[in-house]
Amino acid sequence: MQPGIFITMEGIDGAGKSTHIERLATLFRTQGRTVVVSREPGGTPLAEKIRSVLLAERMDSLSEALLMFASRREHIVDVIAPALRRGEVVISDRYTDSSFAYQGGGRQFDTSKLDTLEAWVQDAGADVQAVVPDLTLWFDLPAEVAAARLSTARAPDKFESESVAFFGRVIAAYARRQQQNPSRIARIDAHQSVEDVWQQVLRTIQQRGWGAP
């Protein structure tokens, strides 16, 4: 059996992850791999219920962080860990780096508490390694450009309604995460055409020895 591959996609709202998630899934499927495409917060029926609360209701920052990680725990236990054990490819639209970026950066919530939650929640059991992505693609786009893209989209949710300053802090936190994890997190310059962005994604995937034509 081939080993499972866990890829996560990150970036501020409006950075354009969605198109590339679909293309990446298609790429792995054409190579005969089983692909699970999922998202956070969400990815299981219970985690999707938590998502609808998180995206609509204002709340205390610790409550928000706890709910993000509770939804993540459900996602890991029910979806991510079982699929990886079966040797499948899991592509998640957001994962723990989002909590460091949005709660840690955007909300300026205590990062050491997030470190603790990360260690608890990503622990998949004594005999199994922690559920850490093999690769994270960080779609980096200036906050003003993302805001302009979003202004023409549907009604904004709780996070999308945040200020450009909030998203500036989210981006700075993503950059710090990338500096701390340079081999796991690849920065994709998202301020380019869809095709140019896709070429960067493809190159990054191929550098790992996956998805060669």
Contacts to ligand TYD by CB under 6 A: 13, 39-41, 68, 93-94, 98-99, 102-103, 157, 159
Copy the structure tokens of residue 116. 């603790």
For residue 101, give the DSSP letter.
Answer: I
How far apart are CB 94 and ligand TYD at their closest, in Å?
4
CA–CA separation, 161 vs 167, rounded Å? 10
Contact of 197 with 146, CB cutoff 8 Å: no
H-helix or E-strand containing 201? helix 194-207
The answer to whether 145 touches 151, Cβ cutoff 8 Å, is no
Return d(Cα 203, Cα 187) in angstroms, integer: 12
Rounded CA-CA distance 163/158 in Å is 11
Residue 88: strand, helix, or coil: coil
Query: Least separation, in Å, of the C-beta of 169 and ligand TYD?
Result: 12
Query: Which of 88, 160 has the CB closer to ligand TYD?
Result: 160
Task: Compute the least distance from the CB of residue 87 to ligand TYD, in Å.
Answer: 25
Residue with tokens 């495409």: 37
Least distance from C-beta 54 to ligand TYD, angstroms? Answer: 7
Nearer Cβ to ligand TYD, position 66 or 124?
Answer: 66
Given the complex with ligand TYD, which of 25 and 33 has the nearer CB atom? 25
Shortest distance in whole angstroms from residue 190 CB to ligand TYD: 13
- Closer residue to ligand TYD, CB minimum distance, 166 or 210: 166
Tell me how far, at minimum, the Cβ of 179 lies from ligand TYD, in Å: 19
**What b/e sequence results for 63-77 when a residue is b if at least 16 CB atoms lie within 10 Å of its CB, and e otherwise?**
ebbebbbbbbbbbbe
Residues 9 and 139: beta-carbon distance below 8 Å: yes
CB closer to ligand TYD, 38 vs 200: 38
Nearer to ligand TYD, 169 or 187 (CB): 169
